[in-house]
Amino acid sequence: MTSQNTKQYLLSLPKWILICALIGIFSGSVSAFFLVSLEWVTQFRIHHDWIIWLLPLGGFLVGASYYYWGESVVKGNNLLLEEYETPKKVIPFKMAPLVLLGTLLTHLFGGSAGREGTAVQMGGAIADQFTKIFKLDNSERKILIILGISAGFASVFGTPLAGAIFALEVLYFSKINFKSIFFSFLVAYAAYFTVEFWKIKHTHYSIPAVPELSLNNIVFTFIVGILSGFTALLFSRSTHFWGSLFSKNIKYPPLRPVIGGVVLAIAIAGLGFTKFSGLGVPVIVDSFSNPSEWYDFLLKILFTGFTLGAGFKGGEVTPLFFVGATLGSALSILIPMPIALLAGIGFVSVFSGATHTPIACTIMGMELFGIAPGLFIAIGCTIAYFSSGSVGIYKSQIVKGAKYKLYQRLNSNF
- Inter-residue contact 242 to 374 (CB < 8 Å): no
Q: Of the candidates 103, 43, 3, 6, which has an alpha carbon nearest to the alpha carbon of residue 318?
A: 103
Q: State which H helix or E strand residue 298 sits in.
A: helix 296-310
pLDDT (tens digit per residue) in 165-195: 999 999 876 567 777 899 999 999 999 999 9
Burial of 230 by CB count in 10 Å (0-12 exposed, 13-18 middle, 19+ buried)?
middle
Show the domains of the chain with their CATH numbers: 13-197 (1.10.3080.10), 215-409 (1.10.3080.10)
Using the 8-state DSSP alphabet, how is residue 400 labeled?
-
Question: What's the pTM value of the predicted model, to 2 decimals?
Answer: 0.95
pLDDT (tens digit per residue) in 7-34: 676 677 999 999 999 999 999 999 999 9
Length of the chain: 414
412 — pLDDT class (breaks 50, 70, 90):
low
Mean pLDDT of 252-270: 97
pLDDT (tens digit per residue) in 88-101: 999 999 999 999 99
Whether 318 has a pLDDT exceeding 70, the answer reads yes
Side chain identity at residue 54, one-letter code: L
What lies within 8 Å, CB to CB, of 49 at 6+ separation is 110, 269, 274
Burial of 371 by CB count in 10 Å (0-12 exposed, 13-18 middle, 19+ buried)?
exposed
272 — pLDDT class (breaks 50, 70, 90):
very high
Q: Give the span between the Cα atoms of 407 and 413, in whole angstroms.
A: 10
Mean pLDDT of 328-338: 98
Side chain identity at residue 265, one-letter code: A
pLDDT (tens digit per residue) in 131-161: 999 999 998 999 999 999 999 999 999 999 9
pLDDT (tens digit per residue) in 222-251: 999 999 999 999 999 999 999 999 999 999
What lies within 8 Å, CB to CB, of 59 at 6+ separation is 109, 111, 256, 257, 258, 259, 260, 261, 310, 311, 312
pLDDT (tens digit per residue) in 203-213: 989 999 999 99
397 — pLDDT class (breaks 50, 70, 90):
confident
